[in-house]
Each structure stands twice: as C-alpha cells, then as structure tokens.
C-alpha cells in the first residue's frame, strides 16, 4: 500500500507542472496524506494486532484504488490521451468538488429529500396493496390486471404527463419515484404473502389465531424476505427515476447539477457530482442491507452484500 501510494505520488509530481498550481495543491496534499497514513499503518501493524486485522482485508482494495487514480492522472494530465475538457484530471475534479461544495451539498440534500419522500410513499403504498393482493382473492382479481398493465411501464415514461398534471415539478417527481418503487414492491409483497407456507397458517389456526393474527403475525413475517427483494429492486428503480426527473424537470438535486454543469462544459463538476452520486446511492443501498440484516436475523444463509 505505501508502495502504491509512493508510485501515485511520484507520478503526480512528474506531471505536476502540467496542471494549474491552484488546482493541484489539494490533490498533492491528498496523496501526501494517503502516503503518510499508509506508511504509518505499514509500520504500526507490526505493533498492534488489531490494526493489522482491521486493515488486512482493505489493503488490496485501497492499493488498487490509488493505482487507478494514478493511471487516471497519467492518462489525463500526464500524456493527454483523452480530450479536454471532457476528461479532467483527478486533481481538477477534486478541486471543483471543493470549490463548489456548498452547491453540491445542497444538491445532495435536495436529492435525498426527494428520494426519501418518493421511496417511502411508494413503499408504504406498495406494502398495503401487496398485502391486499396477496391475501384477498377479490383484491387479487381486480389488482393483478392493473399491476400487470401499469407496472411494467417505466416510471420515467410518465414524465410528460406528470409535468402537465401537477403544478410542482418536485411533487410530480416524488410521485414518479413512488410509482417506480410501487411496482416491484407490490409484486414481490403479494407473491411473498400468497406463497406463505400453508402449514404455518394451519398451525396458527389450530393455536387459535384469528384473521388478523394470520395476516400480521404469520403471512407478513413469512413474506419479509421477498418484500426486501422488492425493496431493493424498487430502490434501484427509484435512483434511475430520481436522476432522470431531476435532469428534465426538477430544478435542484444531483441529477440537475450534472446536466447544469454539462451545460457550462464544466466536466470537473460533472465528475465530482457523479462521484458524490455513487457514494450517495451506495450508502443508501448499504443502509437498506443493514436494515434487512437486522429485520431478518432469523433467516439463515442470507445473500451477502
């Protein structure tokens, strides 16, 4: 790891003169910090066992990451293989991330609020409709055709219509995200509910269970693994819908930021926003996995993330 850090640092120094000094300084500091920390860890791990255990698994990953940064820098700033301004160097991206941090933070915040509003709304609606369709035959008769016809249409296809119907772009975007989440969650909730093992229901009935117990204490817990699969699929769909809705209608958020920065040909900012988006979405995904792991502790052999 220190070796990789050193290589990246050296490469950076070699191409340093090609950059504008202002932009390069933060990146230089960043690489220097990485180098120092990695040297400290390399030395320290011989002394503290716990540190070694902690970094052991991450070492190859960090090494690869810093080498990737190095390659990126060599290709862009070093040898100019890729045309500017479309492919800025990592130093430039880091610089635009820092200089525009207020707006980026604001955009991330707006994206988060919009995403959560739409996701929670859609997931709750889907949970209710999924349980109804999965449990009751008449709800299934009327709900299934609706689900089958409306569900497969991508939520983004409704954008033109949503713009006309709702006065506020934010509200219609939230509704579209909710719709995107609603379909997979409803589908998997209802299939989970209707596939509840009949013997669980039989046992519960011989224990004196009423309809409410059968739904809330047997069918829904039994359907939870399937519901979570739906929630994950819905989360993916909600990211897509969020970014598209933000770049065409809503005047805030990361999706908007990317297309706005592109309009000004500030590709450093585009890359900065993409990096933040990746971190943002994968954090939310990880949180959902953590939630699932807590709720489904009783399940054995879960899929790892």
Partner 1 sequence: MVTTNIAVGSALRVHEVHKSFAVPDAPGTTRLALDGISFSIAAGELVSLVGPSGCGKSTLLRLIAGLDFPDAGELLVGEEKILGPSAARGLVFQDPNLFPWLTVRRNIEAGLVARGVLEAQRHEVSDFMRLVGLEAFANSYPHHLSGGMSQRVALARALINHPKVLLLDEPLGALDAFTRMRMQDEVLRLWENRRTTMLLVTHDIDEAIYMSDRILVMTPAPGRVDRKIDIDLLRPRDRTSEPFLRLRSQILEHLHFAGTAADVSA
Q: Does residue 33 interact with partner 1 by CB under 8 A?
A: no
Nearer to partner 1, 122 or 130 (CB): 130
Q: Which of 25, 52, 140, 205 binds partner 1 (CB under 8 A)?
A: 205
Q: Which of 46, 102, 164, 210 binds partner 1 (CB under 8 A)?
A: 210
CA distance 92 to 193: 52
Chain centroid offset of residue 234 CA: 11
**Other beta carbons less than 10 A from residue 250's beta carbon:** 22
Instruction: Quickly tell me which residue has 């932009």 as its tokens.
Output: 23
Nearer to partner 1, 149 or 297 (CB): 297
Number of H helices, E strands in the chain: 14, 0
Q: Which of 207, 211, 263, 264 binds partner 1 (CB under 8 A)?
A: 207
Count, residues in the chain: 305
> What phi and psi values does residue 196 have, to the nearest 5 degrees?
-55, 135
Which stretch in 12-20, 79-87, 119-127, 214-222 sits in contact with partner 1 by CB under 8 A?
214-222
Kindly identify the residues of this chain, within the stretch 215-274, that bind partner 1 according to CB under 8 A: 217-218, 221-222, 224
> What phi and psi values does residue 240 have, to the nearest 5 degrees?
-60, -50
Which stretch in 126-134, 151-159, 193-201, 244-252 sits in contact with partner 1 by CB under 8 A?
193-201
Element (H, E) at 70: helix 59-73
Label each residue of 170-188 as H, E or C: HHHHHHHHHHHHHHHHHHH
Angle 178-182-186 from CA coordinates, rounded to 5°: 160
Q: Does residue 137 interact with partner 1 by CB under 8 A?
A: no
Kindly identify the residues of this chain, within the stretch 76-105, that bind partner 1 according to CB under 8 A: none
* 3-state class (DSSP) for residue 202: helix
Nearer to partner 1, 13 or 202 (CB): 202
Q: Does residue 208 interact with partner 1 by CB under 8 A?
A: yes
Q: Does residue 211 interact with partner 1 by CB under 8 A?
A: no
Nearer to partner 1, 81 or 298 (CB): 298
Nearer to partner 1, 128 or 203 (CB): 203
Residues at the site binding partner 1, with contacts judged by CB under 8 A: 197, 199-200, 202-210, 213, 217-218, 221-222, 224, 297-300
């Amino acid at each position: 790891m220190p070796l990789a850090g050193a290589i990246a640092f050296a490469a950076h120094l070699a191409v340093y003169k090609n950059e504008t000094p202002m932009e390069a300084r933060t990146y230089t500091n960043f690489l220097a910090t990485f180098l120092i920390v990695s040297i400290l860890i390399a030395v320290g791990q011989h002394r503290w066992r716990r540190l070694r255990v902690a970094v052991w698994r991450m070492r190859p990953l960090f090494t690869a990451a810093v080498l990737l940064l190095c390659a990126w820098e060599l290709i862009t700033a070093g040898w100019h293989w890729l045309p500017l301004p479309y492919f800025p160097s990592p130093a430039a991206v880091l610089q635009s991330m820092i200089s525009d941090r207020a707006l980026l933070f604001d955009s991330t915040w707006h994206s988060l609020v919009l995403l959560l509003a739409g996701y929670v709304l859609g997931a709750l609606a889907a949970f209710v409709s999924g349980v109804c369709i999965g449990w009751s035959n008449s709800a299934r008769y009327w709900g299934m055709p609706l689900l089958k016809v409306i569900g497969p249409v991508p939520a983004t296809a409704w954008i033109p219509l949503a713009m006309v119907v709702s006065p506020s772009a934010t509200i219609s975007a939230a509704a579209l995200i909710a719709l995107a989440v609603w379909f997979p969650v409803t589908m998997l909730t209802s299939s989970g509910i209707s596939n509840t093992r009949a013997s669980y229901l039989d046992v519960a009935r011989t224990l004196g269970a009423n309809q409410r117990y059968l739904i809330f204490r047997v069918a829904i817990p039994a359907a939870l693994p399937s519901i979570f699969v739906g929630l994950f699929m819905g989360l993916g769909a909600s990211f897509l819908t969020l970014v598209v809705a933000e770049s065409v209608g809503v005047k805030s958020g990361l999706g908007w930021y990317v297309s706005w920065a592109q309009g000004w040909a500030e590709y450093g900012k585009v890359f900065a926003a993409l990096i933040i988006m990746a971190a943002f979405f994968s954090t939310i995904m990880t949180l959902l996995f953590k939630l699932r792991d807590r709720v489904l502790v009783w399940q054995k052999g879960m899929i790892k993330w």
